[in-house]
Amino acid sequence: MTPVPGTLKPLSFLDEALETLRAEGLYRRLRILEGEQKPRARFDGREVINLSSNNYLGLTTHPKLKEAAIRAVKELGAGSGSVRTIAGTMDLHMELERKIAAFKKTEAAVVFQSGFAANAGTVASILGKEDLILSDELNHASIIDGARLSRAAIRVFPHKDTAALGKLLEETADVKRRLVITDGVFSMDGDVAPLPGIAALAREHGAIMMVDDAHASGVMGQNGRGTIDHYGLHGQVDIQVGTLSKAIGVLGGYVCGSKSLIEYLYHRARPFLFSTSHPPAVAAACLAAFDVLEQEPERIERLWSNTRRFKAGLARLGFDTGMSETPITPILVGEADRAMKLSDLAFDRGVFAQGIGFPTVAKGKARLRTIVTATHTEEELDKALEILGDAARGLGIIP
Ligand SMILES: Cc1ncc(COP(=O)(O)O)c(C=O)c1O
């Protein structure tokens, strides 16, 4: 039968997919932040202790970042007006790249619109269909998407398994160009990559070594220089990615490495070539953030002392926090609907800890993902522990 014109609904499969999400307990409404991103914040009309942001050092609201952004708007306007490669490269963009390269102790750096664009744009532009990518199974989605876009072959090695990586490198010795890629800190589990072993293997087998330090920059290493600095591996990682959206508190991503790598990316990384550059306020606030990292290292110390306090509290309560070694501390719950129930209950009682389920984490590994920040008070952390403990006990998650 010919359908009546205008009655066909070619997108109706989306409603079915949403129904499935609802049935699996994976449907989420976006929580709306009313006001600033702070350790105590107002979401959906409720004041809560906020354990869900990536604002590790509290820089989203730092007066120096805000002043720098306001000044940049007044002096340079609201937008950059072009992609970097045409008319959208301002002094501030170049200054930020110089600052990041010096901070990370590399020859050069390039800034992208986001960490996602930095990872995906880099991997997709330096590899092609003759090449091979060796990737940790828990690497970030932006690495996975970049790998797919590159059309290179992809071999995934078990999480942090250097022995398995070594075997894969031996088996694939005939491939001319290989990339070994890992997150520095894994975003959903908060554990740290065994970088010395991985970097040594990459070097031994002549593979390119790339680390995504999105969650380590501003958090680990001297003044927050990241995992490469933490392990003393300067000069041994060919490509370092970072984000300006987490500890730095603003928006953007960057790649650090040799001058030729950065010049190549200027010419070939598609998000750099085909998407407008940051507004001046973003670049100016990021510049101010790197000054704060140098001038206020006590923020990082506070982040870690808060992390220790919170983790010890979770352990006392009997929570399973998996492999976490950093401020990212998952509270492992199992099935997605239980995680979402716990998250909702905690929220109603005054704690925002986002429930995370498939596809962000594997099925059966749903969790509340918590991140404490340098700016939480001890009282806030203790109160959050009390609320999480009561809620989880009520659901039979802890004894
Ligand atoms: C490990 C990792 N890499 C990259 C990104 C992307 O960073 P951005 O938010 O700046 O796009 C994220 C953020 O979710 C991340 O967790």
Active site residue 105: no
pLDDT tens per residue across span 31-88: 999 999 999 999 999 999 999 999 999 999 999 999 999 999 999 999 999 999 999 9
pLDDT tens per residue across span 95-139: 999 999 999 999 999 999 999 999 999 999 999 999 999 999 999
Residue 14: Cβ-neighbour burial (10 angstroms; 0-12, 13-18, 19+): exposed
Active site residue 53: no
| Residue 369 beta carbon below 6 angstroms from any ligand 1 atom | no
Question: pLDDT tier at 1 (50, 70, 90 boundaries)?
Answer: low
Is residue 155 within 8 Å of 201, Cβ to Cβ? no
For ligand 1, atom 10, the nearest C-alpha belongs to 115
pLDDT tens per residue across span 268-286: 999 999 999 999 999 999 9
Structural tokens at position 385:
């522990």
Nearest to 166 by CA among 147, 154, 180: 180
Q: How high is the pLDDT of residue 122?
A: 98
Which pTM does this prediction carry?
0.96
- Tell me which of 125, 150, 187, 245 is the catalytic residue: 187
Sequence-distant (6+) residues with CB within 8 A of 219 are 56, 185, 226, 247, 300, 303, 326, 327
pLDDT tens per residue across span 360-374: 899 999 999 999 999
- Closest atom of ligand 1 to CA, residue 142: 4
Active site residue 64: no
Question: pLDDT tier at 306 (50, 70, 90 boundaries)?
Answer: very high
| Residue 140 beta carbon below 6 angstroms from any ligand 1 atom | yes
Nearest to 276 by CA among 99, 8, 85: 85
- Ligand 1 centroid vs 75 CA: distance in angstroms? 30
Q: How high is the pLDDT of residue 25?
A: 77
- Ligand 1 centroid vs 56 CA: distance in angstroms? 14
Q: How high is the pLDDT of residue 26?
A: 79
pLDDT tens per residue across span 326-341: 999 999 999 988 999 9
Nearest to 284 by CA among 84, 70, 62, 54: 70
| Residue 224 beta carbon below 6 angstroms from any ligand 1 atom | no
